[in-house]
Amino acid sequence: MPKPLKKQRVPMPEQDPKERIHNFNEVALGYTWELALEEASRCLQCPVNHAPCIKGCPVDVNIPGFIKKIREKDIKGALEIIHETNALPCITGRVCPQEQQCEMHCVMGKVGDKINIGKLERFVADEAKKMGIYPEVYIAPNNGKKVAIIGSGPAGLTAAADLVKMGYDVTVFEALHDYGGVLIYGIPEFRLPKEIARYEVEYLKSLGVKFIKNVVVGKTLTIYDILNDYDAVFLGTGAGTPNFLNIPGVNLKGIYSANEFLTRINLMKAFKFPEYDTPIKRGKKLAVIGGGNVAMDAARSALRIGYEEVYIIYRRTKEYMTARKEEIKHAEEEGVKFMFLVSPVEFVGNEEGNVKAVVLIMNELGEPDESGRRRPKPVPGTEFGLEVDAVVFAIGQRPNKVLYQEVPELKVTKWGTLIVDEKYRTTMKGVFAGGDAVRGEATVVLAMGDGKRGARAIDEYLKGEPWPEKIEPKNF
């Protein structure tokens, strides 16, 4: 007689909150074989042609297929199914917002908890890494065409992986001294260990992808220089220019963008103080402005470098936060304090020019804005102060202008994002783009999806598809 279907998902073990706030080790500890098999057994194995979870995946992973291989204890088979469409499973299994994508459509959710797809994907990738197993992938013979990828973030790495398999000579140019883009400088070790990102980069090198670092396109080289040597270019340069509020005191010392704050901690290793004496403001109280994943990363990192009180300041209510529920839950468990329906109106400094307080005003929610969320409206006369030693702005980022400011052929939107059409073609012939450079700040897996579709479009172009006379902008 078959076992009754288990309705509750199998949770992944985690570090205790009281311990993890004192280290940068990974919070989620991974499934054991026993736990993975128990969770995989819950999958209803919907037919691949009709599986709604696949339709919810931006990179089209055959989810029932790889879960079936777990049940058969075939890690190599599971890995190869994932790698058919996803070259970075160690990464996506950790940082993908599965609850808003594949898991959201899981049929099992009609009778119980949805399958923990992301955690199972991570299990496959981690187990394969531990066992030294690599997927067997077909790489077409070299076709004599060269493609340059600008940026080694998720969009660029995915485009590179797909193009090298198609037989192209692929070179990735990176501005920083390490590869991975936001995966390295933006996401903390406790969510995505750097050795995981580097492992995925090494895998791409094994496929034949070349990497060159310390090249700032727009300064070290221009796009014109690159087009002289390459047949096509893919721009996966991300969104690295932070947004700030234009309010009094915003230029005081101790006020950071999340980009700078996290880069100092992650890439410049401030989390290893005193081994690395990276300059970063330390103190007792820190406030983070924003409500997305980056805000959670900044707040949780601040606790780990020694801040005693960390506040998330968010202008709407909790239900409107864009951060993953898992990240909010982890922040709450670790002691981050949430202040809802408040906005900063001024920063106050001391005699040395250091921030010492933020003046906040209460909000009420009005009509929905263009995002569909109710617009916050300040309530006059409700201002109050909060003492702080440092502030981090995490209210979004936009692309850096260095790339295209001397390239009039590349057109951008009013938000500074590159204009592309449905095939990720920019307004400059032979140049394609994807990820945050065209979307603005988005998720890792959406950038990867852009990289896949961009690679496919480059292949079609280099096989003779004519460039359109006019680019019809894609609406993201």
Per-residue DSSP letters for 358-387?
A: EEEEEEEEEEE-TTSSEEEEE-TT--EEEE
Which pLDDT value is given to residue 1?
A: 47
Give the C-alpha separation, 103 to 226, whole Å: 41
Which pLDDT value is given to residue 280?
A: 84
Of the candidates 368, 307, 296, the residue with the CA atom closest to the CA atom of residue 331: 296
pTM, full prediction: 0.92
Fold of 244-395: FAD/NAD(P)-binding domain (3.50.50)
Which pLDDT value is given to residue 274?
A: 63
Query: Which superfamily is assigned to 146-240+398-462 in CATH?
Result: FAD/NAD(P)-binding domain (3.50.50.60)
On whether the CB atoms of residues 320 and 291 are closer than 8 A, the answer is: yes
Fold of 17-131: Fumarate Reductase Iron-sulfur Protein; Chain B, domain 2 (1.10.1060)
Which pLDDT value is given to residue 2?
A: 57
Q: Give domain limits for the chain.
A: 17-131, 146-240+398-462, 244-395
What are the tens digits of pLDDT across the range 221-271? 999 999 999 999 999 999 888 889 999 999 999 999 999 999 998 877 666
Q: Is 244-395 the same fold as 17-131? A: no
Side chain identity at residue 135, one-letter code: P
Element (DSSP H or E) covering residue 172: strand 169-173
Give the C-alpha separation, 299 to 309, whole Å: 10
Q: Which residues of the chain have pLDDT under 70?
A: 1-3, 269-277
Element (DSSP H or E) covering residue 310: strand 309-314
Which pLDDT value is given to residue 269?
A: 66
Residue 277 DSSP one-character state = -
